[in-house]
Chain A
Amino acid sequence: EAGVTQSPTHLIKTRGQQATLRCSPISGHTSVYWYQQALGLGLQFLLWYDEGEERNRGNFPPRFSGRQFPNYSSELNVNALELEDSALYLCASARDTNEKLFFGSGTQLSVL
C-alpha cells in the first residue's frame, strides 16, 4: 500500500512569491491535514480537509490556504512568502478523524 506522498521534496522561493505544495493521501483516507514544522519548533497545525471541505485551520494568516480535490488529494498554497515561512511542511492523512495519522515525508520550503 502506498503511503502519503508529497511533492515537491524541496522548494526554493523568494520573498513575495507563491508556493504550492501537494499531497496525496493513502487510498481510502478522506481526511488530510497540513502541519508546519519550523526549525526548533514542534509541529504546528495548519489546515484540515475532509470530504473536500475545510474543517478547521490553525493560527496562521489567510495567505496560507488550500483545497482538497474530489480524489482527496490536497494542495497547500502560501501566498506572499515571507522568510519565516521557511519550514518543513508535512501532510498527514487519516481514515477517521480521531484515528492514527499517517505522515508524508514533507516538503522543505526555503524562502530566500
Chain B
Amino acid sequence: AQSVTQLDSHVSVSEGTPVLLRCNYSSSYSPSLFWYVQHPNKGLQLLLKYTSAATLVKGINGFEAEFKKSETSFHLTKPSAHMSDAAEYFCVVSPGYSSASKIIFGSGTRLSIRP
C-alpha cells in the first residue's frame, strides 16, 4: 500500500531564508516521487521528479529534494525563499509500475513568505 504524509500543513519563512517542506512516504514498490506547486488560481506545476536515478533531484525555481530511502523521506528545500514562492506544495508518490490513477497526493503544505 502507498501513502504520503506532508508533515506540516503550513510553513512560514522570511524572504531570503531557507525553505524546508517535509514529506514522508510509504510504498510497496520502488516509487516515483514528485513535488508539485499550486499558485493561487493556477493549475498544478511540476517542480521536480525522482525516478530512481540520482537521489538529489534539482527542480525549477531553485528547489531541490533528496530521496532518503532509509528515512522514507523526500523533503523539498530551497536555500533562499522568494516572495513568489508563496503557494501550496504537494508531495506525490506514484508506484513504479503503473498509471497516474494510482498516484497519491499529500494533503499539501501552504508556504507563506514574510517580507
Contact = CB atoms under 8 A, between A and B. Distances in A.
A40 to B, nearest CB: 8
Interface string B97-115: 1111101011110000000
Contacts of A90: 43-44
Contacts, number: 61
A31 B105 CA distance: 18
B45 interface: yes
Interface stretch (A14-22, A64-72, A74-82, A91-99): A91-99
Contact of A55 (B45, B49, B101): B101
A98 B90 contact: no
A33 B43 contact: no
A101 interface: yes
A42 B90 contact: yes
A104 B94 CA distance: 20
Given A42-B105, A43-B105, A98-B32, A105 B42 contact: yes
Contacts of B44: 43, 90, 92, 101, 103
B46 interface: yes
B43 A105 contact: yes
A54 to B, nearest CB: 10
Interface of A: 3-4, 31, 33, 35, 40-45, 48, 55-58, 90, 92, 94, 97-98, 100-106
Interface of B: 32, 36, 41-46, 49, 90, 94, 96-101, 103, 105-108
15 contacts: A31-B100, A33-B100, A42-B107, A48-B100, A48-B101, A56-B99, A90-B43, A90-B44, A94-B100, A97-B99, A98-B97, A98-B99, A103-B44, A103-B45, A105-B41
